[in-house]
Amino acid sequence: MKRLAVFASGSGSNFEAIAEGCRSGAIEDAEVVLCVCDKTGAYVLERAKKFDVPTLVFNPKEFASKRDFERMIADRLDAERVDLVCLAGYMRIVGEELLARYGGRIINIHPALLPAFKGAHAIRDAFEYGVKVYGVTIHDVDSSLDGGRIISQVAVPYEGDDIEELESLIHKAEHKLYVETISRIIG
Active centre residues (catalytic): 110
The CA angle 21-2-142, to the nearest 5 degrees, is 90
**Of residues 148-177, which lie at the interface with ligand GRF (CB under 6 A)?**
174
| Cβ proximity of 30 and 4 under 8 Å | yes
User: Where does this chain touch ligand GRF (CB under 6 A) — which range of 12-20, 21-29, 46-54, 153-161?
Assistant: 12-20
Cα(89)–Cα(38) distance, rounded to whole angstroms?
A: 11
Q: Which of 4, 5, 7, 12 binds ligand GRF (CB under 6 A)?
A: 12
Cα(84)–Cα(104) distance, rounded to whole angstroms?
A: 9
**Of residues 17-76, which lie at the interface with ligand GRF (CB under 6 A)?**
none
181 binds ligand GRF (CB under 6 A): no
Burial class (CB in 10 A: 0-12, 13-18, 19+), 65: exposed
Cα(184)–Cα(166) distance, rounded to whole angstroms?
A: 27
User: Where does this chain touch ligand GRF (CB under 6 A) — which range of 5-13, 48-56, 98-106, 125-133?
Assistant: 5-13
Cα(146)–Cα(89) distance, rounded to whole angstroms?
A: 12
Residue closer to ligand GRF, measured from CB, 1 or 145 = 145
Position of minimal CB gap to ligand GRF: 89
**Of residues 94-113, which lie at the interface with ligand GRF (CB under 6 A)?**
109-111
User: Where does this chain touch ligand GRF (CB under 6 A) — which range of 10-18, 26-34, 52-60, 151-159?
Assistant: 10-18
Q: What is the dihedral of CA 108, 83, 103, 43, to 10 degrees?
A: 40
13 binds ligand GRF (CB under 6 A): yes
CB of 181 to ligand GRF, least distance (A): 13
CB of 62 to ligand GRF, least distance (A): 23
Instruction: Map residue 110 onto helix, strand or coil.
Output: strand
**Of residues 109-138, which lie at the interface with ligand GRF (CB under 6 A)?**
109-111
CA 78 to chain centre: 19
Tell me the β-bridge partners of 109.
Answer: 138
Using CB under 6 A, count the residues that bind ligand GRF. 12
Positions touching ligand GRF (CB under 6 A) are 8, 10-14, 88-89, 109-111, 174
